[in-house]
């Protein structure tokens, strides 16, 4: 039923091409055409944050955004964060703080925390709570996520000072 | 209990073994699984809560290009002649069979290679129904003429349910009874009698990885990949349905994106199995978040509790009438009814107790296990009741609890003595963290402040078995084969710690082989706080067995005592090359004694789950808005083998229960769920976390039967939290809330009623 269209974009730093149906979301495309598992559909309504990816540097809900509109844009998923076995400071902080249980929401949180720290390198507790309120964790690792954000902010500061 | 020196390896707050894969997003969930040639199934669901199906029109759906097949119960009957399943009752048809019993019940399935085509086609199916009168309320259902099932069909697996076989003319799926002492006589001589009724609402697990199962039927044998907490039970039940031996059914479970009791027993597995047999291809069904509300939920509960006290304030009699709204299919509701019924008189020392606990069918989505197995619903009643009695008798709420508390060695209502259960120390720990003895700010202006506590306990499903295999390779590396499902609680890590402790290995070096019933041995299920205790013991026994075999090998090789030759060298000496395995096995079955006709047994539970909670609340009396400003959760987990993982369980369970206390509620209108999505059904976010939030386990506790003194802790903090908040609200306002959830509207309505100006109910 749906027509398709070829789009060209950048995926995790590499050029990518895909024939995309009109009803295909970003998370559909990442899962089915690129076998990336980090962005996951959970609520399907843009309410839980499990499918968070960035498009041209801005966090979006991959379950609500149509892949068609990625043409010419740059998409980054959690898979881009670790290189050669070295984790991003936010990923390290999540491990050190124990900021997850089942892990299903974790990539979404990590993507959002990176954006939070880009905008507010030293956020206070209220800023963190409000910024991340669109990411749901049913295991409720919230106290540890708060710790992880603090830890990640410190790690980033150290890294930029070095 | 005496102070215990924690064992060196087992007690470290080791990060999860799979931590890296979880932060890189590469971890394996069934959610992502694709098999070659796989079809996606999309369920067409009933729009009626109770109706006969006159016809199902699948023509338009079948005609949509890309649709492989549309399947109804008629197709399924050709491959599974008796397509009814369930852990307690064989009452649930794989697809609706001539009748629907709740709005949302699966009626037909569209199969297509493209998931979106399957979805579109499911929207083209129509069904014609002849509506039947329905029953939604558990009290009505107890005596209603409307029958959800014409005949009760208990599964043969529970011996204690056999008497219900073939019973007709009732919605009562199970009536559990406990009698201790002479309750009537004790009430007759009681100085004071109090009776109150409390209700809990229907809520849902909301795992972030929605239910998903994949079946691959090939020429007489089946492989199931499923997000299940109980692979062994899935195998047994599917083998029964298909009339196959267990070894023809293979069930594989990777990591789970949350479970919380929902992903237990049989869920989508029977349906995908049938579809794969019909289509002769692999079939996957992934539910949407919205569909999860129709899979399994938590029982609404209606609990009338009556207590008789002597002049000194000692409780001498208690009568518990607990009615569980089980929805349209029994699922594991009968066991919830028994297990939660068993402890529904609370952690108090009462000589005369009567408990009647009923599982009732209604035309709602089915209810089953959810973190706490009914204990939170019963504690909501008995702990609010406790404060109400203390207040009425003008006794201190804490001292009243102390006076009546069940203590070590004393028999609980079932006759099972309390053992290694730190109820009083848990309460004292809460009081300490609440600064209970310090002056308390009661608020000013429109803001009223209050505080409350609650205590509670639960029995553990018994008798159950866990089996573990420890495999040491010829190079000395270790793999652990267990059926425990890591759904986020960290069982892989803790089990590795236990094996490492016995074998003197680094726990991070141990590989935990995930449930695969062709490979991993039997386990009853990852449920009811049982894994650390049962599987932990099995792993300990298996590791000790392996260790003993190494010692035998050393003697065989003539090595001097204490030679400590690395295993790889021993194996080379034995086999002439790096070859062979050392295999240790362990089976654990907890000590159990079946209750008699009065529900009495001295061995009713392998251990006691114990939780205590304290809450401070702030209420705006103009709006009813409630804020929990401080929340303290304390549990007795025995020895915390991985203190960090324990703390996560305590706080996670606490926040989940906070949602069930303040916001979560499945709202029905004429049997139709009106808020089945995360847009309208609100689970806690970071903003709902109390500003002051303390989660701790009782220090220096020890369970003599647990592995290295440990016991389960995944549910303990769900038990006492709701009444702690309910008691804090009553403390702030002098008004009692009887029904969960405690929403601002509920508070506002209660305040208006107290003023003699009740608001009208919604039309």
Question: Is B115 in the same domain as B23?
Answer: no
| Minimum Cα–Cα distance from A95: chain B residue | B19
**Residue B710 is assigned to a structural domain of this protein:** no
| B144-161 pLDDT tens trace | 999 999 999 998 776 667
Cβ contacts of A138 on chain B, cutoff 8 Å? 205-208, 258, 260, 656, 683
pLDDT score for B5: 46
pLDDT in tens, B536-555: 999 999 999 999 999 999 99
Q: Identify whether B436 is part of a domain.
A: no
Residues facing B617 on adjacent strands: B450, B628
Q: Is the pLDDT of residue B6 over 70?
A: no
- Check A105 against B208: CB less than 8 A apart: yes
Out of B25, B258, B655, whose CB is closest to A102?
B258
Within 8 A by CB and 6+ apart from A4, the residues are A19, A20, A21, A22
CB contact under 8 A, B685 and A104: no
**What per-residue confidence (pLDDT) applies to A160?**
87
Chain A residues with CB-CB distance to B651 below 8 A: 140, 142-143
Q: Using the beta-carbon criterion (under 8 Å), do A45 and B679 form an inter-chain contact?
A: yes
Q: How far is B204 from chain A (nearest CA, A)?
A: 11
In this structure, is the dihedral angle defined by the CA atoms of residues B182, B184, B185 and B191, taken in order, positive or negative?
positive
Mark whether B240 and B265 lie in a shared domain: yes
| pLDDT 10s digits, B657-712 | 999 999 999 999 999 999 999 999 999 999 999 999 999 999 999 999 999 999 99
Domain identity same for B279 and B238: yes
B621 has pLDDT over 80: yes
Contacts of B212 in chain A (CB under 8 A): none
Domain CATH number, residue B568: 3.30.365.10
Give the per-residue pLDDT at A161: 86
Q: Which of B589, B620, B652 is the last residue of a domain?
A: B589
The closest CB to that of A87, out of B23, B117, B648, belongs to B23
Instruction: Check A138 against B656: CB less than 8 A apart.
Output: yes
Question: Residue A83: its chain B contacts at CB < 8 A?
Answer: none
Q: Is A116 on the interface with B (CB under 8 A)?
A: no
Which residues face B612 on adjacent strands?
Answer: B455, B634
User: Mind telling me the catalytic residues of B?
Assistant: 715
A101 in contact with chain B, both atoms CB, cutoff 8 A: yes
Domains and CATH numbers, chain A: 4-78 (3.10.20.30), 89-161 (1.10.150.120)
The count of domains in chain B is 2
**How many beta-carbon pairs under 8 angstroms link A with B?**
162
- Same-domain check for residues B80 and B23: no
How close is the nearest chain B Cα to the Cα of A21, in Å? Answer: 11
B23 and B96 inside one domain: no
The pLDDT assigned to B12 comes to 84
Give the range among B88-102, B104-118, B164-178, B599-613 with minimum mean pLDDT.
B164-178
Whether B23 and B58 share a structural domain:
no
Alpha-carbon distance B739 to B742, whole Å? 7
pLDDT of A75: 98
CB hemisphere CA count around B431 (13 angstroms): 14
Whether residue A40 lies within 8 A of chain B, CB to CB, comes out as yes
- Paired tokens of B450: 């209050």
Whether B8 is covered by a domain: the verdict is no
Domain span at B469 = 19-27+464-589
CA dihedral B421, B427, B429, B435 (to 10 degrees): 180
Q: Where do the H-state alpha helices sit in B103-167?
A: 115-122, 138-143
Chain A residues 77-96 within an 8 A CB cutoff of chain B: 77-79, 81-82, 87, 91, 94-96
Rounded to a whole number of angstroms, the distance from the CA of A49 to the nearest CA of chain B is 10
Chain mean pLDDT for chain B: 96
Helices (H) and strands (E) in chain B, counts: 20, 29
ipTM tops the 0.85 cut: yes
Whole-number percent of chain B with pLDDT over 90: 95
pLDDT band at B421 (very low <50, low <70, confident <90, very high): very high
Same domain, B505 and B527: yes
Residue B122 lies in a domain: yes
Count the Cβ atoms, other than its own, within 10 Å of residue B460.
Answer: 23
B438 phi and psi, to 5 degrees?
-80, 155
Q: List the CATH number of the domain containing B272.
A: 3.90.1170.50
- pLDDT at site B3: 40
pLDDT in tens, A71-122: 999 999 999 999 888 999 999 999 999 999 999 999 999 999 999 999 999 9
* Same domain membership, residue B96 and residue B60: yes
In a domain, B180, yes or no: no
- Whether B512 and B578 map to the same domain: the answer is yes
Give the strands of the sheet with B126-131, arranged side by side. B99-100, B51-57, B126-131
| CA B742/CA B728 separation, integer angstroms | 11
Residue B604 resides in a domain:
no
B515/B497 Cα distance (integer angstroms): 18
Residue that is last in its domain, among B530, B560, B589? B589
Select the residue from A41, A42, A99, A114 to test the B interface by mutation, using most B Cβ atoms within 10 A: A42
pLDDT of residue B8: 59
Tokens standing for residue B729: 């609200």
- Same domain for B23 and B38, yes or no, is no
Compute the average pLDDT of residues B97-108: 98
Q: B606 near B462, Cβ under 8 Å?
A: yes
Residue pLDDT, tens place only, B131-141: 999 999 999 99
- Domain edge (last residue) among B275, B292, B309: B292
Residue A2's pLDDT is: 62
**Which residues of chain A are within 8 Å of residue B29 when distances are taken between CB atoms?**
37, 40, 104
Nearest to A142 among B19, B207, B655 (CB): B655
pLDDT tops 90 at residue B354: yes
The reported pLDDT for the residue numbered B164 is 81
Domain assignment present for residue B666? The answer is: no
Q: For residue A143, what pLDDT is reported?
A: 98
Does residue B23 sit in the same domain as residue B59? no
> What is residue B2's predicted lDDT score, i.e. its pLDDT?
39
Q: Is there a contact between A42 and B289 if contact means CB atoms under 8 Å apart?
A: yes
CA distance B210 to chain A (A): 7
CB A9 within 8 A of CB A73: yes
Nearest residue of chain B to residue A27 (CA atoms):
B32
- Is B210 in contact with A102 (CB distance < 8 Å)? no
Summarize pLDDT for B338-347 with one digit per residue, the tens. 999 999 999 9
Q: Which residue has the tokens 């059904």?
A: B681
Mean pLDDT confidence for B488-495: 97
For residue B665, tell me if it sits in a domain.
Answer: no
Q: Cβ separation of B25 and A38 shorter than 8 Å?
A: yes
Q: Say if residue B23 is in the same domain as residue B89.
A: no
């Amino acid at each position: 039923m749906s027509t398709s269209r070829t789009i060209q974009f950048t995926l995790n730093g590499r050029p990518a091409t895909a024939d995309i149906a009109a009803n295909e979301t970003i998370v559909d495309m990442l899962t089915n055409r690129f076998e990336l598992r980090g962005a996951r559909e959970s609520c399907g309504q843009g309410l839980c944050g499990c499918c968070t990816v960035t498009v041209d540097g801005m966090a979006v809900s991959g379950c609500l955004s149509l892949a068609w509109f990625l043409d010419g844009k740059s998409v980054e998923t959690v898979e881009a964060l670790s290189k050669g076995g070295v984790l991003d400071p936010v990923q390290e902080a999540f491990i050190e703080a124990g900021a997850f249980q089942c892990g299903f929401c974790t990539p979404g949180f990590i993507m959002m925390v990176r954006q939070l720290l880009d905008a507010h390198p030293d956020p206070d507790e209220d800023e963190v709570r409000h910024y991340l309120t669109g990411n749901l964790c049913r295991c409720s690792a919230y106290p540890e996520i708060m710790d992880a954000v603090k830890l990640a902010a410190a790690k980033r500061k150290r890294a930029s000072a070095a | 209990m005496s102070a215990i020196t924690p064992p060196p390896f087992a007690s470290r707050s080791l990060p999860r073994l799979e931590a890296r894969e979880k932060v890189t997003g590469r971890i394996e969930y069934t959610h992502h699984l694709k098999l070659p040639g796989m079809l996606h199934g999309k369920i067409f669901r009933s729009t009626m809560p109770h109706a006969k199906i006159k016809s199902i029109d699948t023509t338009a759906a079948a005609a949509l290009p890309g649709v492989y097949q549309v399947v109804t119960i008629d197709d399924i009957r050709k491959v599974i002649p008796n397509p009814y399943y369930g852990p307690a009752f064989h009452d649930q048809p794989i697809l609706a069979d001539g009748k629907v019993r709740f709005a949302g019940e699966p009626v037909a399935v569209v199969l297509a290679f493209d998931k979106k085509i399957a979805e579109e086609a499911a929207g083209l199916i129509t069904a014609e129904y002849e509506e039947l009168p329905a029953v939604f309320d558990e009290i009505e259902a107890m005596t209603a003429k409307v029958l959800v099932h014409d005949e009760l069909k208990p599964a043969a697996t529970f011996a204690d349910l056999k008497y219900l076989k073939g019973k007709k003319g009732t919605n009562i799926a199970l009536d559990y009874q406990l009698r201790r002492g002479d309750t009537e006589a004790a009430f007759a001589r009681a100085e004071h009698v109090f009776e109150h009724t409390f209700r809990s609402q229907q809520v849902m697990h909301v795992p972030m990885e929605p239910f998903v199962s994949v079946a691959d039927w090939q020429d007489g044998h089946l492989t199931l990949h499923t997000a299940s907490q109980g692979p062994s039970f899935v195998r047994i039940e599917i083998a029964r349905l298909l009339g196959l031996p267990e070894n023809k059914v293979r069930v594989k479970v990777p990591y789970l994106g949350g479970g919380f009791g929902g992903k237990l027993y049989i869920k989508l597995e029977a349906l995908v199995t049938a579809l794969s047999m019909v289509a002769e291809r692999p079939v996957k069904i992934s539910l949407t978040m919205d569909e999860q509300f129709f899979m399994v939920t938590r029982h609404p509960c209606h609990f009338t509790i009556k207590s008789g006290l002597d002049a000194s304030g000692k409780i001498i009699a208690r009568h518990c009438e607990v009615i569980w709204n089980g929805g349209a299919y029994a699922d594991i509701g009968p066991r919830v009814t028994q297990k939660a019924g068993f402890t529904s008189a609370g952690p108090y020392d009462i000589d005369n107790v009567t408990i009647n606990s009923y599982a009732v069918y209604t035309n709602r989505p089915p209810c089953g296990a959810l973190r706490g197995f009914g204990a939170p619903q019963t504690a909501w009643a008995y702990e609010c009741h406790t404060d109400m009695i203390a207040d009425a008798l003008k006794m201190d709420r804490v001292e009243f609890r102390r006076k009546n508390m069940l203590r070590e060695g004393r028999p609980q209502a079932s006759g099972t003595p309390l053992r290694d259960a730190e109820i009083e120390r848990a309460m004292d720990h809460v009081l300490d963290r609440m600064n209970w003895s310090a002056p308390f700010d009661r608020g000013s202006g429109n803001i009223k402040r209050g505080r409350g506590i609650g205590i509670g306990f639960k029995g553990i499903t018994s008798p159950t078995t866990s089996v573990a295999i420890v495999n040491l390779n010829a190079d000395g590396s270790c793999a652990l084969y267990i059926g425990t499902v890591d759904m986020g609680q960290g069982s892989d890590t803790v089990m590795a710690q236990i094996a490492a402790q016995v074998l003197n290995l680094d726990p991070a070096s141990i590989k935990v082989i995930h449930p695969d019933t062709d490979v991993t041995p039997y386990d009853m299920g990852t449920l009811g706080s049982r894994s650390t205790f049962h599987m932990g013991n099995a792993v300990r026994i298996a590791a000790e067995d392996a260790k003993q075999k190494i010692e035998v090998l050393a003697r065989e090789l003539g090595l001097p005592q204490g030679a400590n030759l690395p295993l790889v060298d021993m194996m080379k000496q034995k086999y002439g090359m790096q070859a062979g395995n050392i295999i240790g096995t362990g089976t654990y079955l907890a000590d159990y004694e079946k209750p008699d006709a009065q529900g009495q047994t001295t061995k009713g539970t392998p251990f006691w789950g114990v939780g205590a909670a304290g809450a401070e609340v702030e209420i705006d009396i103009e709006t009813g808005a409630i804020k929990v400003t401080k929340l303290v959760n304390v549990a007795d987990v025995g020895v915390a083998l991985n203190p960090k993982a324990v703390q996560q369980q305590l706080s996670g369970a606490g926040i989940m229960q906070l949602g069930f206390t303040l916001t979560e509620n499945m709202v029905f209108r004429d049997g139709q769920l009106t808020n089945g999505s995360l847009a309208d059904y609100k689970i806690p976010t970071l903003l709902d976390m109390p500003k002051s939030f303390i989660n701790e386990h009782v220090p220096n506790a020890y369970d003599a039967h647990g592995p290295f003194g440990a016991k389960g802790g995944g549910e303990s903090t769900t038990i006492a939290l709701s009444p702690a908040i309910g008691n804090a609200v009553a403390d702030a306002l002098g008004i009692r809330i009887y029904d969960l959830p405690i929403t601002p509207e509920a508070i506002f309505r209660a305040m208006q009623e107290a003023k003699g100006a009740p608001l009208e109910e919604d039309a």
